Structure 1
Amino acid sequence: MRAVRIPAVLVSRVTHFKVLALCFICTSVYVYLYSEVSLQSLTLHKMIMAAIGDFRSWQKQIWELWDYIRYGEFFTDTDSAEKDRNITRNYATTQVSRSRMDRNVSRAPVNTENLALDMLHTNATLLTLFTTWQTSVEKFTCHNNTVRNWNLLKPFVQPILFTNENELSIQVTAMGWKVLPVSKAGRGVPVLKNMYLDTIKVFNSTFYAYANGDILFTDTLIITLLTVLTSSLNKSRPLMVIGRRTNVDNVTALEARDQITITKAAEFRGTLFSAWGEDYFITMKNYPWKDIPDVIVGRRAYDNWLVLDARRRGHVVDATETILAVHQTTYRGNYEGHSHRDSDYNHNLLVRTFRRLHYAAGKTSCTELITRYNSTHAPQIQWRNPNKECYPL
């Protein structure tokens, strides 16, 4: 058979098309890879610029918070009195505090600013804030966060830990807290009213409060209490300030290091808890704690009963909207008090004493008074009408 001879012209054209096809493929691959790199570079550029923008927006707040930290160090320096007064005024008018779940700045009214200045100049304590816990490896970070966080509220707030553990006492004392022994307990857990009575005997302040040992605060606590103190409420009657907490899972030491970072963690990762839960109870020295049953902390039922009883006695203020209280939720969840072996301790005690209890009347939503931010982002006290489930008392 005779072989077919392919013309040279046709061979050159086929080769040419192969080269063109290869060039086209290479060009396509290059364009694809270049576009991917460009898009990633653009995304990275936007992330960097956003971070720079955040830093610039935080810069002023960071310096304001630093002024407060410096003031705490300079307070006893008699040679810098004028400098102290300037720093004090800057802190009293600071706009670091934020309203819950948004970025509106809260600002103390002028009369509360003046009161804050007076308290600082006289070295008076606004609030004695106490809690209790047992040494726990699982909650080391949580409790360490609490110690450091409550220290940020000085000099307006004096932190106290109730414990009979010697090593724990040494540790928290070294970190700037005061320690008191547990004088009375039920099932090994401190009795709430004795903690109040013992604290009032030893420390002098305008307000006294128990808060769970996993709660973090910001200076919204201070500004709200100054607002309550300068309000027209009749403070000769028993007064209690309560509020709902914001649950944040696994709060890190980095997030808890200052008020700005914990506020941002609550804004982006927090969830407001049920109106059934109250984790802090702020009262004044005249509150009749001696008449309260021997309920223990960390177990269910006592919180709603306390609010119910306080509504009968005088004024109860729901400060949920103006006090940021961050609950450090651990692996034990948000209903830890229900999981204890003696979780019904308080309920059984109260039923034996009062027989019938309407716990729903002790929810935060059942208080007749509430704190809210006004148009100038300053907290104020308002009246409200609770719904039917809040009665009878």
Structure 2
Amino acid sequence: MFYMNMNAIIAMAGMVAVLMLTRKWAGNKRILMIIFSLCFLLLFSTKLCLFYAVYTVVNYGGFVYLCRTTVWRKAAFIFAIAANIIGVFIGVRLFVMDIFHNPLFDAIIYLGLIYNVLKVIDAYYFAYFFGKDGQVPAIDYANYILFIPTFTSGPILKFRDFMADSKKPYSVDSALFEDSVKRIILGMFKKIVVVTWMTGIFDHVLKQQELHTHESLFLLIWFYALIYFDFSGYSDMAIGFGRLMGYTMPENFKRPFLSPSMTQFWRNWHATLGDFFRDHIFMFFSRSVPTRWVASGLSILIMVLIGLWHGFTWLYFFYGLYHGIILAVENLLKITTVNKKKVSKTYFYFRCFVTQALVTVSVIIYSSNYETVLRIYKGLLHFN
């Protein structure tokens, strides 16, 4: 959302300039970033700023407690995770779906929570597994939660990586600066030019009274490309600004169209989201190697959770279930990966084609519109 607001873009560019001018000050990145984040949120919305100030303080208290306590650690850990998921994550989805109403809240309060609650959970995992060794200063924790470049769009930052960067002095050389600026421009071009143009064409074709097979196929493929440019455009801008502010940003899209299996697709498409769910569910099975049946069941669970993360609807539930079943089958048949160097090009690209076909059929779910999804699927059966 911030990246569609020119004032926000200018503010972030101004912050980069300030960081570069004060780079000789050892603490510039840590101190100036928290001031910038709070001022940015305050100017955007006073209510939003106050909410996140309280939300961050409360969760930091829970984080410190989990680091220090030796009594009922697992219970405290589970309670902290559940409180965020139930009280925040589900709450935002119900509010956005117009199911939950409360005069104390409005949509602006929930801005960014879908991403930030995952960061809070990652911090709790860090505290639980590292104990006293995992405790960090409040300013670094706050910078992690309130980091503006990834506040509303991801990529999802890992707590340990962000803390490692916080200890390093601000440093952006000419090569990194050039690459980051190009990344921001590319992201803006994708989001403002390409997505706007593609959305117009998609809506134009969809307006036809009756869809035929070729039109539905076109819409499925077109929407897949549209979603890619939309998501990756946001990621490009976030990565560019994040790196200019002195932090390492993980790649969110790693050539997903050249994925020869659904397993590899989800390591390349919205990669940080898939990594988050894999890391935080499989972590409890790290002491023993799960069987293929257990791993397949976990794959289905993870994908259903990823589906519901996008929205509490049957569309997203079945979207996650569909991908989870494919991942489970790949696991059971031992076809989760393909080494390009050990197979023929024909076989490799055939597997890529099959994977993309499976993705294309389901990606229209991201439209979040039952009527649109049903019209396009029905159109596939209209051959005349």
TM superposition score normalised by structure 1: 0.26
Higher strand share: 1
Structure of larger gyration radius: 1
